[in-house]
Amino acid sequence: MRRAERLWGAAVLQLLLAARVVAAFEPISVGITIGAVSLLTGYLSYKDIYCRFSECCREEQPLNASALKLDLEEKLFGQHVATEVILKALTGFKNNKNPKKPLTLSLHGWAGTGKNFVSQIVAENLHPKGLKSNFVHLFVSTLHFPHEQKIKLYQDQLQKWIRGNVSACASSVFIFDEMDKLHPGIIDAIKPFLDYYEQVDGVSYRKAIFIFLSNAGGDLITKTALDFWRAGKKREDIQLKDLEPVLSVGVFNNKHSGLWHSGLIDRNLIDYFIPFLPLEYRHVKMCVQAEMRARGSAIDEDIVTRVAEEMTFFPKDEKIYSDKGCKTVQSRLDFH
């Protein structure tokens, strides 16, 4: 009996290995192999086995909120508001089996405060391959939409790209970087996809996620942070309600925000305007330590201090916040 079980297990293993080998060559052969394994095992579906060898869109896969929380708390520094809002927004959205619209987040703050890093963390927690996933799409304004005279072309291309990818995977993620450099009007092309429609031309966008990254509003966020500091209040006392209304109005009226007079704001289609606070000296040191750990280096506090002290801080008198956040930490660490 045991011998028979061993032979059966070996047969299944050989078929699985065969599927892996032929996966790069011929999908029909893969299908036949997977079908054979399914018959042998009696419980593995075609999709279950296929997805072991090729990336699949798992629309119903729940979000591991604990893993996301841990990533945000351990890798993102000085951003208590962003951490809380992103965790709650994503958890609530993914737990909702029938959302009424896509989740749309707009992340604001100066360069180096963690916006791109957070979008990477979010992507990795939604699709294992992160930014390399076939279901995560990154648009960079200066790269993909450089010419003001081609706005109509960009709008058409953007609609087709999003429609095609959501048709292939309902839980696709779209990240728009450098929104503050996006020509006004381009982003409004996707307004129908973000609205409360069950379907648009036969496609449902309700399970997709859209993330906007922008430096616009950084001055408003810094002013609020400074007001708290000068009033003797803790940074951690700043809440979303202290910044979100100011951000939405400020971005709407800013000609260089990418969302100037946008219907996305006018129709309240952006679910959260999330502020990224300017980083203090202590947060820069945390970034240096994290980078050293990522490189497999022992934490040398002397080096950590030297790198942090090389950064420049503002305002001129108080020198509280790093003017580049943690953006140049990697390159500066290379010199030590």
- Tell me: is residue 258 an annotated ligand-binding position: no
Tokens of residue 179, six digits: 């929104």
Are 323 and 239 part of one and the same domain?
Answer: no
Q: Domains in the chain: how many in total?
A: 2
pLDDT single digits (tens) 16-35: 444 444 444 454 554 555 55
- Tell me: is residue 229 an annotated ligand-binding position: no
What does the pLDDT read at residue 230?
95
Are 134 and 74 part of one and the same domain?
Answer: yes
Band of residue 15 on the pLDDT scale cut at 50, 70, 90: very low
- The parent domain of residue 213 ranges over 65-276
- Tell me: is residue 161 an annotated ligand-binding position: no
Are 98 and 246 part of one and the same domain?
Answer: yes
**263 neighbors 270 (Cβ within 8 angstroms):** no
pLDDT single digits (tens) 221-279: 999 999 999 999 999 999 999 999 999 999 999 988 899 889 999 999 999 999 999 99
Are 212 and 322 part of one and the same domain?
Answer: no
Helices marked H in 76-150 = 80-95, 115-126, 141-144
Are 262 and 286 part of one and the same domain?
Answer: no
The answer to whether residue 53 is domain-embedded is no
- Among 234, 261, 276, identify where a domain stops: 276
Rounded Cα distance between 262 and 319, Å, is: 36
Average pLDDT taken over every residue of the chain: 89
Are 119 and 157 part of one and the same domain?
Answer: yes
Rounded Cα distance between 252 and 258, Å, is: 9
Are 107 and 156 part of one and the same domain?
Answer: yes
Are 262 and 139 part of one and the same domain?
Answer: yes
Tokens of residue 242, six digits: 């202290």
The answer to whether residue 146 is domain-embedded is yes
- Tell me: is residue 115 an annotated ligand-binding position: yes
The answer to whether residue 4 is domain-embedded is no
- Tell me: is residue 111 an annotated ligand-binding position: yes
- Tell me: is residue 9 an annotated ligand-binding position: no
CATH number, domain containing residue 179: 3.40.50.300
Are 203 and 330 part of one and the same domain?
Answer: no
Are 153 and 255 part of one and the same domain?
Answer: yes
- Among 276, 308, 325, identify where a domain stops: 276
The answer to whether residue 244 is domain-embedded is yes
Are 265 and 303 part of one and the same domain?
Answer: no
The answer to whether residue 10 is domain-embedded is no
- Tell me: is residue 31 an annotated ligand-binding position: no
- Tell me: is residue 113 an annotated ligand-binding position: yes
